[in-house]
Structure 1
């Protein structure tokens, strides 16, 4: 009887130990699952804003293009807050050389001299805004950027976006193109390339050269810019 009792007692002890071990393993598994759930939840939470942290926030298309060709497509884009509106053309004002009277006067020699100057484009853009025709220069600039793009997928996406922004009759920024050029664009859109808008770009260039450029040269804005260099420094 004693041997039987001892045997039964030993078996009961083994059963309790196995049950205890199983319970402990279940507890450990539950802890792992709980920790995993917490990590997943942490991953779902949006990052908290830290007022001491600085950085560039990705806000989609940049303000200058107003929901059109994105900064990433055009090559800079997310410009710092102190950058000029043409930063995607690599002509940020913070890196410009100091503007001189000689350069300002050179803008009057030809439209080409004006538009090849980063500061000239910036000043001309400000003038175009007063005439509500800044989309002409914007279109010319995005076409220039498109010509430098070599990635086929990026080219196709950019061509589509430029069309929607500046060629479509539904766009508030539609540029003035004649029917012949529009037909050329429609044909080119079947196989988009970096040259899709070449004729349209040339037509807008001629429009700015013929109409907007002479008015800018005769504007008070340009005259005041020249005068600012000619005024003697006050001591």
Structure 2
């Protein structure tokens, strides 16, 4: 990419901020409001954040917004390894800032308790559907691998031009529709880190899963696409 790294990092920070603010914010502020948006609304919110930012900053940074996406693209041969760490730093910082904004807004309502999770990801007793660690691991690996496959396919030079943001946004929506009950859906270590740092306790103790499983899934997805569908 011809853009300076500072501008690309800025775009990734802002884009990840928007993803966490819009996605996690919909969970904390709107999911169960008297006429709440529920699981479908939250799933759409996450998808819309990626869709909108893909159009806004895709031409600047590629709109990864996710350490797993950046790693998957490295493995898939679409992104240079030397740029991985700066992107991950920008993504994590953006996620933390967004979680802070959500906390500031949510704490303005009487009865708000940080212990409710701030949309943190979890397994076992902290899974929305009480799913086990094993179930959460499988869900996060498979969903992330499929997400990377879709991203690489939609952005392939052979794919129809201009439609990638729609495909990627809808893919993230579908992923959330399926896996919110299992782990509250991560597939994104930065998205998991922001809320966990504010909640502390159990959220930090379980955060390892939402780095390990998505990164494994990213490697699988990137390797599969590169091995199966790369142009000879």
TM-score relative to the length of structure 2: 0.29
Q: Which has the larger radius of gyration?
A: 1
Which structure has the higher relative contact order (CA within 8 Å, separation 6+)? 2
Identify the structure with the greater helix proportion. 2
TM-score relative to the length of structure 1: 0.28
